[in-house]
């Protein structure tokens, strides 16, 4: 009996995550295990210390092994897909074109225009993560999805090239390889998340996905069924934590606890204007220190509004916001912030929902499944692109009881 099992690794600003998925009968994918530990020396999704990152990867593997050991799985990890983010990632629109030789578009011309669309000159310092095909154009007719058999003179294919800083990707690969994991392929976090949280009708009608991480926020915009824009903004949950720590002279650990347990992104949720919040402390002498809940929420609200305004301005510059008829979908660990959806709706003027993975199984009982959307999407990508002929040489072994 054989099975397809995959791994996805994310070395993020606040946490290092490993997820394991299994291909099921009928083509579905099941997440059979996921684990995480706090990251060390990672800032804005970029590794500052290879040794620390390597240790984080080793630790998360060990944790995954222990969790899966009792479920008939013998973990023997050798490769994984790498989920990446950070504001070093860019998306570049690029088009390829070819002349239509006969009266109608043939397979030969479609292949030629696909090849031409891959000829974007990538600088040596950058690495190509993905090429997203958008729409075909024949002469002045846009929005074509299947040009074969159509008439015209010039065939063009619009694409989106996702590129990243080669050195930053190489650092993550080095950390993984030092932990004896070969990286199969790096994948952008926000587009990976989108694949498991979006319905096809949302992609057609227009939708914005925001993947809120510790060091950065990724955005991806879909319209007419394909990705039209994506990027990463260097503001994430850690910036809110730092703001709290600075404003109230707390440690980062105390600020993080205040953010997660007490804070709200919205000021409208305050019923008691005079309410105060106790600052968590392990020091008995500091047990009675409190701060104003209104002041706490004001600090959080200011940073969240700033982030959403940057996103709004970015999309309005490209006339994209008016095309988002299906609204906004929030994913990532930062989506747990109280009333975040309310502020997003206020600033961006669109309906908002939390993006829980719907195209994979196994996360139904995970209360914060939206925090694992990116790694779940990477597993789904691996499952859809699996080469069964060499699968067992590159992934896991499984022992059946």
Domains of the chain: 3-87+167-194+372-400 (3.30.420.40), 200-357 (3.30.420.40)
* Residue 271 pLDDT: 65
Q: What does the pLDDT average to over 103-125? A: 95
Confidence label for 396 from pLDDT (cuts 50, 70 and 90): very low
Confidence label for 269 from pLDDT (cuts 50, 70 and 90): low
* 3-state SS, one letter per residue, for 263-311: CECCCCCCCCCCCEEECCCCCHHHCCCEEEHHHHHHHHHHHHHHHHHHH
Buried b (16+ CB within 10 A) or exposed e, 285-306: eeeebebebbebbebbbebbbe
* Residue 64 pLDDT: 86
DSSP 3-state percent helix, strand, coil across the chain (nearest 5): 35, 30, 30
Low-confidence winner among 23-32, 48-57, 381-390 (lowest mean pLDDT): 381-390
276: which 2 tokens? 């105060």
Among candidate residues 5, 31, 23, the one with its CA nearest the CA of residue 356: 31
294/257 Cα distance (integer angstroms): 16
Low-confidence winner among 46-55, 98-107, 110-119 (lowest mean pLDDT): 98-107
63/56 Cα distance (integer angstroms): 11
Confidence label for 44 from pLDDT (cuts 50, 70 and 90): confident
3-state DSSP call for residue 335?
helix
Q: Check residues 244 and 288 and name the one with the higher pLDDT.
A: 244
**Looking at the predicted structure, is the pLDDT value of residue 30 above 50?**
yes
Look over the chain and give the mean of its residue pLDDT values, rounded to a whole number: 90
**Looking at the predicted structure, is the pLDDT value of residue 285 above 70?**
no
* Residue 207 pLDDT: 98
299-349 residue pLDDT tens: 999 999 999 999 999 999 999 999 999 999 999 999 999 999 999 999 999
* Residue 272 pLDDT: 66
Low-confidence winner among 115-124, 276-285, 386-395 (lowest mean pLDDT): 386-395
Q: What percent of the chain has pLDDT over 90?
A: 81
Confidence label for 289 from pLDDT (cuts 50, 70 and 90): confident
Confidence label for 368 from pLDDT (cuts 50, 70 and 90): very high
232/307 Cα distance (integer angstroms): 11
* Residue 394 pLDDT: 38
376/19 Cα distance (integer angstroms): 7
Low-confidence winner among 229-233, 291-295, 358-362, 397-401 (lowest mean pLDDT): 397-401
50-88 residue pLDDT tens: 999 999 999 999 888 888 876 666 666 778 999 999 999
* Residue 365 pLDDT: 92
**Looking at the predicted structure, is the pLDDT value of residue 276 above 80?**
yes
3-state DSSP call for residue 182?
strand
Question: Residue written as tokens 């997440």?
Answer: 31
Whether the Cβ atoms of residue 194 and residue 98 lie closer than 8 Å to each other = no
């Amino acid at each position: 009996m054989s099975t397809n099992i995959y791994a996805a690794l994310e070395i993020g600003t606040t946490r290092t995550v490993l997820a394991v998925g299994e291909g099921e009968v009928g083509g579905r994918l099941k997440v059979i295990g996921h684990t995480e530990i706090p990251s060390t020396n990672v800032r804005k999704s970029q590794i500052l210390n290879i040794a620390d990152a390597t240790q984080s990867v080793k630790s998360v593997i060990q944790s995954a092994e222990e969790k899966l050991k009792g479920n008939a799985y013998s973990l023997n990890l050798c490769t994984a897909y790498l989920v990446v983010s950070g504001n070093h990632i860019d998306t570049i629109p690029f088009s390829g074109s070819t002349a239509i030789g006969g009266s109608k578009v043939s397979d030969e011309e479609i292949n030629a225009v696909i090849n031409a669309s891959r000829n974007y000159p990538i600088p040596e310092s950058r690495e190509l993560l993905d090429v997203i095909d958008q729409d075909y154009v024949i002469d002045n007719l846009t929005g074509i999805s299947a040009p074969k058999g159509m008439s015209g003179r010039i065939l063009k294919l619009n694409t989106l090239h996702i590129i990243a800083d080669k050195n930053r990707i190489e650092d993550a690969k080095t950390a993984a390889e030092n932990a004896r994991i070969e990286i199969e392929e790096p994948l952008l976090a926000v587009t990976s998340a989108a694949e498991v949280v979006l319905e096809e009708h949302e992609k057609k009608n227009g939708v914005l996905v925001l993947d809120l991480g510790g060091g950065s926020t990724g955005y991806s915009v879909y319209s007419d069924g394909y990705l039209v824009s994506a990027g990463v903004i260097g503001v994430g949950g850690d910036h809110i934590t730092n703001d709290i720590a600075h404003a109230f002279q707390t440690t980062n650990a105390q600020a993080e606890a205040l953010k997660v347990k007490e804070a709200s992104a919205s000021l409208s949720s305050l019923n008691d204007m005079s309410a105060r919040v106790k600052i968590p402390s392990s020091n008995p002498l500091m047990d009675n220190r409190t701060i104003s809940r209104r002041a706490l929420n004001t600090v959080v609200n200011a940073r969240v509004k700033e982030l959403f305004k940057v996103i709004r301005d970015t999309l309005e510059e490209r006339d994209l916001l008016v095309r988002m008829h299906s609204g906004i979908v929030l994913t990532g660990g930062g989506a747990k912030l109280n009333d975040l959806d309310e502020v997003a709706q206020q600033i961006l003027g669109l309906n908002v929902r939390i993006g829980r993975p719907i195209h994979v199984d196994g996360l139904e009982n995970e209360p914060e499944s939206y925090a694992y959307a990116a790694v779940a999407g990477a597993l789904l990508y691996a499952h859809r692109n699996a080469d069964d002929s060499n699968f067992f040489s590159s992934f896991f072994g499984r022992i059946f009881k």
